[in-house]
């Protein structure tokens, strides 16, 4: 298997991988988007945004890095077992 073939296979899956791995961040952003649609006063919305920024460090442990790691390990395994051809 060539490097380009491995890259092409992984590239097709990247959107799904990213969506799964980073879903906690997406959930946080979706809450802010929903608030923005409600037409709440700017000061209230900005307070919510500030609180969301303060919650960012708590999101990192909830990220699903194993999804990215699994894909990387699979690609590396294919390269090693198949004897990658550049």
pTM for the model: 0.57
pLDDT tens profile 20-40:
888 888 888 999 999 999 989
Answer whether 86's CB lies under 8 Å from 1's CB: no
Q: What tokens appear for 6 in the block?
A: 């491995």
Average pLDDT for residues 33-56, to the nearest whole number?
Answer: 92
pLDDT tens profile 66-86:
888 888 898 888 888 877 665
Query: Residue 43: pLDDT band by 50, 70, 90 thresholds?
Result: very high
* Torsional sign, CA 45, 48, 54, 60: negative
Q: What tokens appear for 48 in the block?
A: 């919510």
């Amino acid at each position: 298997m060539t490097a380009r073939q491995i890259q092409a296979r992984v590239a097709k899956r990247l959107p799904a991988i990213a969506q799964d791995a980073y879903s906690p961040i997406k959930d946080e952003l979706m809450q802010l988007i929903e608030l923005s649609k409600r037409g709440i006063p700017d000061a209230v919305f900005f307070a919510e945004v500030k609180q969301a920024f303060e919650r960012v460090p708590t999101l990192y442990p909830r990220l699903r890095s194993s999804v990215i790691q699994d894909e990387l390990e699979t690609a590396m395994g294919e390269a090693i077992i198949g004897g990658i051809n550049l």
